[in-house]
Structure 1
Amino acid sequence: MEGWLRESGAELDGLELAHFPAIGRGVRTLRCFKQGERILTIPSGCLWTVEHAYADAVLGPVLRSAQPPLSVEDTLAIYILFVRSRESGYDGLRSHVAALPASYSSSIFFEDDELEVCAGSSLYTITRQLEQRIEEDYRGLVVRVFGLHLDLFPLNKFTIENVGYKWALCTVWSRAMDFVLPNGNPLRLLAPFADMVNHSPEVKQCHVYDASSGNLSILAGKDYEAEDQVFIYYGPMPNSRLLRLYGFVIPDNPNDSYDLVLSTHPLAPFYEQKQKLWASAGLNSTCTISLTLDDPLPKNVLRYLRIQRLDESDLAAIALQKIDTNEKISDSKEVEILRFLVESIGSLLDSFGTRLEKLQEQLAKGVYPVGGNAWAAAHVSLGEQKVLRLARKRAEDLLAAVESESGNDRDGCANCGKDSVPLMLCGKCKGIKYCGRTCQVAHYKEHKAACRATTAKN
């Protein structure tokens, strides 16, 4: 592959492919490089892109005629499999395919018992969904593309398993680079040799696409000595994404997160009014909010839930600009929201197959071989459970603070906190006040037990 690239104008001086302990194949320096110095350049003609696939005299017409149009992922995956299947005419590209790994350690290739180690995690759910989607997509490709051109796509070579469609998809996920062109359009490409450079969170963003020339360059993300391994930076990714796309994890990854999905059914009361409020807050009726180690309970979680739980009187007050959903609506509503959060996060934690402490013990005892699939899955589960525990603790602290404030202030309405209107005592216990019948009814479920207990004593 290196010989073909150099013949094509690639600049690879001072570099070579090498095998590194624990990491595997990567790129090694043969001389010193300073941070920011150009390390290598892959010319446009050597790149794998949708445009290049469409330009292929044999494959292009088939890809362009597919209905509905193929996705970028499927186009590149088919391009890779097509070149791999050809016996002549694609010498340079075939040498790149031959240099690709014969297998991947992404989560879609895990055995069931390996994936079960992270049961309850977002990775577990997404992987199961991906497995089903890949099977459905492959069947669709057989009908829409492969089956219509069996001379180009013999089904014994264009399988789903082995070095087939799943393998090609994983090649795209793990080795493609994404850019935004000056016109705002996205570009996904694979660059031979450059895609052998491994990830490190210790270097800066260092791969660059030149839209004018169409060339791809790698710059030194730090100073390198001779014999060092070269790295690029994929971005601040959690282990769940690293394992799903690239097949590895970083123990104690500071970027670990949990994607919390909040949604509301369209038939829920006042849905259209709430939808407008979510939009004005920069949210949607279905929101995925990332909980992180640094910010385990982002403000948008509370903003979303405050809007979700608005009732008719709240919406009327908002129309009169008397309520700001960025702040708590009332003590009772905030308590309701925070209790819901504590319980929901607790349920998420209970759904994990193996609790955090048990996983830590198993990893310490070497139950899972270091670097193996089960070991990687355990680290994903660990990271997500740590984030969720921090989120629950944050919600519990906020709940305690609101309950303390509302408990110390008996002058306002027990439900909405208003003290600017005449208040009436609870007719039974005489212990708390309300601004009206609506708040008394709304608060009854919360107050019922205490009210009965107080009434019984009297």
Structure 2
Amino acid sequence: MELQKWLINGGAEGLSCLQLEDFPDTGRGVKTLRPLKSQEVVLTIPESFLWTADVATNDPVIGTVIRSVEPPLSVDDILAVFLLFIKSCKTGYDGRRAHVELLPTSYTASIFFSDEEIEICSGSSLYHLTQKLKQQIRDDYIQLLNNLFSKHPDLFPLEGFTQDAYIWALCTIWSRGMDFQLPDGQFRCIAPFADMLNHSLDVEICHTYDPQLKRLQILAGKNYTTGEQVFINYGLVPNNRLLRLYGFILLDNPHDSYDLVLTTHHQAPLYSQKVALLESIGLQVNSIFPLKLNDPLPLNVLQYLRIQRLTSSEISTVAARNGAKVRISSRNEAEILKALRESCEDLLSGFGISLEKLEEKVAYQRGSNAWAAAHVSIGEQKILKTTLQKVKELLALVICANCGKADENNKRCGRCRKVVYCGVDCQKSHYSEHKVLCKASE
């Protein structure tokens, strides 16, 4: 109630029809006290009540100190310091302290998993990113301790600015922050009360920020009846990111992905020319490509690899200059597909628990950390297996099914059209092995 009074007195609109509520499935959320129509403005919060880096660096008490830190603090660190400062205050900042009192005291993000729990998804991108994140948090905290907290103990008493407190503040920012792409860059904020809204894929993306009017608005992402929980949509977020930042997953998440990292060494042949070709199609030499079940092998992955493996005789071809959207040569195509096949097989073998064993074990208690880690691993392995199958299908149309020769004159099997041969002799020699598949394709 104190938070609502503070927001209403400051010009926030819409709070009279909304109420905080504890829901059995999602925990604390927001319900509507009246019917809402899709796209109706539900909540408006003026910029002055948002938690932003600008608000923190202009704070009359700690703003100058934060601005003086070298090297400059990241947006997340500025917000974390500001949040912990407000939490440690005994007087003043009444509205912000009321907001802090409503925040969870603990979180379920993957950095809090035990070693046994996180090992369930070993080999996944979540596993590797969580390990890196833990180390980064430790390093960042030591830097904050040395450059800020220890120099100003009157403002940042160490008992309230421990590493555990810092981790809590970061998780608050990651799980409750809203990001908007504005003309002058990305804008990150935490909006009091609006940050209590839970995520659902069943509603449209419905949170907006107007830099001219300096206000954040929540719209109704669908029609609601009185008493329903009001949701927002975080966007196209895969489970590995949901669990790492928000502490939950969605079963059968349609936005699950595996991030494939591709890079080219600076000493590779024709490096500068290849970089120029990559940049001409909007790709960087170090690129990350999300693989998804409905798009397990995006065209830009093939484009990148075709360019990466170009020879001096291929680099000036029309196909290469046009962004390698089509096959450059049989040699080039066979090389990149074999490399992809090997990479997928290596990645799958790197998972601590195979897909088949995990699917047998999804007897982990529903909602537990182990259960969530298992589903992240299952999702990523399914994607990689689908990618591997797609790569094998494409490779079968490049190299002779019998001898493995990659040649521009290879011809498809006239019946199934799923394999190629370099000549009649190879086709006849391979028929006894191929006939079952070939006849099944009829």
TM-score by length of 2: 0.88
**Counterpart for residue 124 of structure 1:** 127
User: What's the CA shift for 1:7?
Assistant: 2.6
Measure, in 2, the Cα distance between the counterparts of 1:281 and 1:59.
45
User: Residues 221, 311 of structure 1: CA spacing in aligned structure 2 closer, same or farther, 3 A cutoff?
Assistant: same
Letter in 2 for 1:369: Q
**Counterpart for residue 428 of structure 2:** none
User: What's the CA shift for 1:343?
Assistant: 1.4
**Counterpart for residue 395 of structure 1:** 391
Q: Deviations over 1:59-103 (max 9, x none)?
A: 111111111211111111100000001111111100101100000
User: Residues 224, 416 of structure 1: CA spacing in aligned structure 2 closer, same or farther, 3 A cutoff?
Assistant: same
Given that 2:281 and 2:323 are in contact with CA atoms closer than 8 Å, whether structure 1 keeps it comes out as no
User: What's the CA shift for 1:395?
Assistant: 0.2
User: Residues 322, 82 of structure 1: CA spacing in aligned structure 2 closer, same or farther, 3 A cutoff?
Assistant: closer
**Counterpart for residue 32 of structure 2:** 29
**Counterpart for residue 4 of structure 2:** 2
Q: Deviations over 1:30-67 (max 9, x none)?
A: 11111111112222222111111122111111111111
User: Residues 407, 372 of structure 1: CA spacing in aligned structure 2 closer, same or farther, 3 A cutoff?
Assistant: same
User: What's the CA shift for 1:277?
Assistant: 1.8
**Counterpart for residue 334 of structure 2:** 335
Letter in 2 for 1:335: A
Q: Secondary structure at the match of 2:42?
A: strand
Given that 1:53 and 1:79 are in contact with CA atoms closer than 8 Å, whether structure 2 keeps it comes out as yes
Measure, in 1, the Cα distance between the counterparts of 2:224 and 2:120.
38
User: Residues 329, 43 of structure 1: CA spacing in aligned structure 2 closer, same or farther, 3 A cutoff?
Assistant: closer
Measure, in 1, the Cα distance between the counterparts of 2:118 and 2:244.
11
Letter in 1 for 2:366: V
Measure, in 2, the Cα distance between the counterparts of 1:43 and 1:334.
55
Measure, in 2, the Cα distance between the counterparts of 1:2 and 1:323.
57
**Counterpart for residue 95 of structure 2:** 92
Measure, in 2, the Cα distance between the counterparts of 1:128 and 1:320.
41
Answer yes or no: is 1:385 the counterpart of 2:385.
Answer: no
Given that 2:320 and 2:328 are in contact with CA atoms closer than 8 Å, whether structure 1 keeps it comes out as no
Structure ID, larger Rg: 1
Q: Secondary structure at the match of 1:288?
A: strand
Q: Secondary structure at the match of 1:403?
A: coil
User: Residues 41, 307 of structure 1: CA spacing in aligned structure 2 closer, same or farther, 3 A cutoff?
Assistant: same
Given that 2:398 and 2:406 are in contact with CA atoms closer than 8 Å, whether structure 1 keeps it comes out as no
Given that 2:86 and 2:97 are in contact with CA atoms closer than 8 Å, whether structure 1 keeps it comes out as yes
Given that 2:277 and 2:321 are in contact with CA atoms closer than 8 Å, whether structure 1 keeps it comes out as no
Q: Deviations over 1:105-137 (max 9, x none)?
A: 111111111111111000000010000001000
Contiguous gaps of at least 5 residues in structure 2: 411-421, 424-442
User: What's the CA shift for 1:5?
Assistant: 2.1
User: What's the CA shift for 1:417?
Assistant: 3.0
Q: Percent same amino acid among aligned pairs?
A: 52
Q: Secondary structure at the match of 2:150?
A: helix
**Counterpart for residue 105 of structure 1:** 108
User: What's the CA shift for 1:336?
Assistant: 2.0
Answer yes or no: is 1:17 the counterpart of 2:20.
Answer: yes
**Counterpart for residue 358 of structure 2:** 359
Measure, in 2, the Cα distance between the counterparts of 1:184 and 1:400.
48
Q: Secondary structure at the match of 1:216?
A: strand
Q: Secondary structure at the match of 2:163?
A: coil
Measure, in 1, the Cα distance between the counterparts of 2:197 and 2:126.
25
Q: Deviations over 1:383-410 (max 9, x none)?
A: 11111111000000001112259989xx
**Counterpart for residue 115 of structure 1:** 118
Higher deviation after alignment, 89-98 or 261-270: 261-270
Q: Secondary structure at the match of 2:317?
A: helix
User: What's the CA shift for 1:304?
Assistant: 1.3
**Counterpart for residue 283 of structure 1:** 283
User: What's the CA shift for 1:224?
Assistant: 0.6
**Which of the numbers 156, 160, 171 marks the counterpart of 2:159?**
156
Answer yes or no: is 1:207 the counterpart of 2:203.
Answer: no
Q: Secondary structure at the match of 2:398?
A: helix
Given that 1:204 and 1:233 are in contact with CA atoms closer than 8 Å, whether structure 2 keeps it comes out as yes
Higher deviation after alignment, 321-330 or 242-251: 321-330
User: What's the CA shift for 1:319?
Assistant: 8.6
Measure, in 2, the Cα distance between the counterparts of 1:304 and 1:180.
27
Answer yes or no: is 1:191 the counterpart of 2:191.
Answer: yes
Given that 1:330 and 1:415 are in contact with CA atoms closer than 8 Å, whether structure 2 keeps it comes out as no
**Counterpart for residue 42 of structure 2:** 39
Equivalent residues, number = 411
User: Residues 397, 344 of structure 1: CA spacing in aligned structure 2 closer, same or farther, 3 A cutoff?
Assistant: same
**Counterpart for residue 179 of structure 2:** 178
Higher deviation after alignment, 283-292 or 222-231: 283-292
Higher deviation after alignment, 78-87 or 64-73: 64-73
Measure, in 1, the Cα distance between the counterparts of 2:117 and 2:320.
54
Measure, in 2, the Cα distance between the counterparts of 1:78 and 1:324.
46
Given that 2:303 and 2:323 are in contact with CA atoms closer than 8 Å, whether structure 1 keeps it comes out as no
Given that 1:318 and 1:324 are in contact with CA atoms closer than 8 Å, whether structure 2 keeps it comes out as no
**Which of the numbers 45, 52, 55 marks the counterpart of 1:52?**
55
User: What's the CA shift for 1:207?
Assistant: 1.0
Q: CA RMSD in A?
A: 2.3
Q: Deviations over 1:328-359 (max 9, x none)?
A: 22223312221111111011011111111211
Q: Secondary structure at the match of 2:314?
A: helix
Given that 1:118 and 1:352 are in contact with CA atoms closer than 8 Å, whether structure 2 keeps it comes out as yes
Letter in 2 for 1:196: M
Letter in 2 for 1:348: L
Measure, in 2, the Cα distance between the counterparts of 1:321 and 1:176.
42
**Which of the numbers 130, 147, 165 marks the counterpart of 1:144?**
147
Letter in 2 for 1:9: G
The within-5 A match list for 1:215-364 is 215-315=215-315, 317-318=316-317, 325-363=324-362
TM-score by length of 1: 0.85
Letter in 1 for 2:75: V
User: What's the CA shift for 1:6?
Assistant: 2.3
Q: Secondary structure at the match of 2:229?
A: coil
Regions of 4+ moved over 4 Å: 319-324, 404-408
Measure, in 1, the Cα distance between the counterparts of 2:320 and 2:117.
54
User: Residues 322, 230 of structure 1: CA spacing in aligned structure 2 closer, same or farther, 3 A cutoff?
Assistant: closer
Given that 2:400 and 2:406 are in contact with CA atoms closer than 8 Å, whether structure 1 keeps it comes out as no
User: What's the CA shift for 1:242?
Assistant: 0.8
